[in-house]
Structure 1
């Protein structure tokens, strides 16, 4: 699949790049995508939720009323879940929500996500560039020149660029990552995928 290469100011370079078939034109697996995103979101959970059960409530241990002759149900403790201020039945406890996925499945999920983006023509390849200063206005200008300012964008670069990363950090709908940080959730969450020219080969090496 051939795609035009643009400069970061929106101009065409006149060159084209071929997206690797083994990464951008695979048979997509929706189930692999589902599992990978499920794992990603599960790993974001802190799992620190906790409620007190009746054994953990501070209160009197005195029997509330006599056992018989009251005409109402028996009650032995003010800490019972049926009373206001009592413990909670089967309340949440701290736990780890993460789970394991095979590496091959995660690779397939990322390839599937990239394939969907390629099929929808939502991939833009940009000639390698860098910012000589940290300037959010400059990053916004780049998005406008590429006609994606009103969309959620994910820019993938080959190597870490602090000026580029910090310039985009205050832009709510934009995210910058390196090829090693590429994940299924970020690819599908973005409306438009921006790839630096050198990141294409790096992504191919990582996923193959």
Structure 2
């Protein structure tokens, strides 16, 4: 499948690139996408939540009051969960939320997500570009030239470019990543996907393995 290459001003350069059918034109596997997105979101959880339970509370071990004759319920410890300052009943404990997913499934999920974007015609290829200095205005003009300034966009570069990254950092609806940082969640979460030529080469070489 051939796609026109655009320049930084959104105009066609007269060149076209071939999108690999093995990466951008497969039958999307929605379950693979679901599993990969689920794993990504699970890995965002720190799992460091912790509350002190009865055995971990600092406090006196003295029996609060005598067993009988008070007219109230029995109470043996100030650390009891029923008292203020006592331990928490079945409180949260540290937990590892990581999930396992084999490489072939992750590769299939990424190819499926890219194929969906290609099928929806939400994928644009631009020539490699850079800015002389970090300016949000320049990046906004770039998005406007592609007609995606009001959409949630993901721009994928072949290699890290500090000026481009800093120019996009203030924009809530746009994100810049490198080809090696690309994952299924970021692809699916974006309305428009913009690939530079060098990023396209890297993505295809990684997913054809």
Give the TM-score normalised by structure 1: 0.93
Give the TM-score normalised by structure 2: 0.92
User: Displacement, 1:143?
Assistant: 0.4
Secondary structure of residue in 2 paired with 1:87: coil
- Runs (5+) with no aligned partner, structure 1: none
Secondary structure of residue in 2 paired with 1:143: helix
Please state if 1:102 is matched with 2:102: yes
Provide the residue aligned with 2:53 in structure 1: 53
> 1:113-148 deviations in whole A, cap 9, x for unaligned?
111111111101112222222221111110011110
Within 5 Å, which residues of 2 pair with 1:65-76? 65-76=65-76
Provide the residue aligned with 1:124 in structure 2: 124
CA RMSD, 1 decimal: 1.6
- Distance across 2 between alignment mates of 1:53 and 1:199: 51
Provide the residue aligned with 1:39 in structure 2: 39
User: Displacement, 1:190?
Assistant: 0.9
Which stretches of structure 1, 4 residues or longer, exceed 3 Å deviation after superposition? 68-73
- Distance across 2 between alignment mates of 1:78 and 1:31: 52
User: Displacement, 1:192?
Assistant: 0.3
- Distance across 2 between alignment mates of 1:25 and 1:67: 76
- Runs (5+) with no aligned partner, structure 2: none
Provide the residue aligned with 1:192 in structure 2: 192
- Distance across 2 between alignment mates of 1:45 and 1:114: 26
> 1:14-54 deviations in whole A, cap 9, x for unaligned?
33322111111112222221221122122222222111101
Secondary structure of residue in 1 paired with 2:28: coil
Aligned length: 208
Secondary structure of residue in 2 paired with 1:64: coil
> 1:73-130 deviations in whole A, cap 9, x for unaligned?
3321121112222101121122322222211111111111111111111101112222
